C-alpha cells in the first residue's frame, strides 16, 4: 500500500448508524434539559432578587403570595413537563415506536386503497380489449433496397 493512496472510509452498517443517531438524539435532549435547569435556577434567583432585595413588585400579590413565587412555580411545572418528556415519554415513544406507527398507518392506507380499487373495478369494469388478427405470417417483408 502506497503512502499516496486514498484512505478508505470505514463503512458503518445501518443498524450501528441507527444506534449512534439514537444516542446523539438522547444526548441532545438531556443537554437541553440540563440547560433548562440551569436557566431555571438563574431565573429563580433573579426573580427573588428583583422582588426581595430590589423591592420591585413587592406590593403585587396573587392569592396572598408574592408574584415571584407563582412565576417560579409555573416555571417548575414547565421544567417537570420537560423532564417527563425526556425521561419518561421517550422511553416508550422512541424511534422504534415511531417506525411501528408509521408502518401501521401505511399498511392501513394501502389496505384502504386496495379496497377502493376493488370496489371501482367491480362497479366500473374496464371494457375488454379487442385483439387484432395476427398478420405477422401473412405480411410480406419490405425490401430496404
Report pLDDT digits (tens) over 55-102: 666 666 666 677 778 888 999 999 999 998 888 887 777 777 788 888
pLDDT per residue as tens digits for the range 12-37: 787 788 788 878 888 888 899 899 99
**Looking at residue 135, what DSSP letter applies?**
-
- DSSP states of 42-84: HHHHHHHIIIIIS-TTTT-EETTEEHHHHHHHHHHHHHHHHHH
pTM > 0.75: no
* C-alpha closest to that of 68 among 54, 83, 84, 82: 54
Amino acid at each position: 500500500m502506497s503512502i499516496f493512496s486514498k484512505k478508505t472510509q470505514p463503512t458503518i452498517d445501518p443498524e450501528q448508524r441507527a444506534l449512534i443517531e439514537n444516542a446523539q438524539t438522547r444526548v441532545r435532549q438531556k443537554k437541553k434539559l440540563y440547560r433548562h435547569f440551569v436557566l431555571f435556577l438563574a431565573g429563580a434567583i433573579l426573580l427573588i432578587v428583583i422582588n426581595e432585595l430590589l423591592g420591585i413588585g413587592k406590593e403585587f400579590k396573587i392569592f396572598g403570595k408574592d408574584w415571584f413565587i407563582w412565576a417560579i412555580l409555573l416555571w417548575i411545572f414547565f421544567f417537570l413537563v420537560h423532564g417527563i418528556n425526556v425521561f419518561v415519554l421517550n422511553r416508550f415513544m422512541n424511534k422504534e415506536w415511531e417506525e411501528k406507527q408509521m408502518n401501521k398507518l401505511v399498511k392501513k392506507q394501502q389496505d384502504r386503497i386496495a379496497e377502493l380499487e376493488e370496489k371501482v373495478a367491480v362497479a366500473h369494469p374496464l371494457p375488454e380489449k379487442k385483439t387484432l388478427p395476427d398478420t405477422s405470417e401473412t405480411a410480406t417483408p419490405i425490401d430496404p433496397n
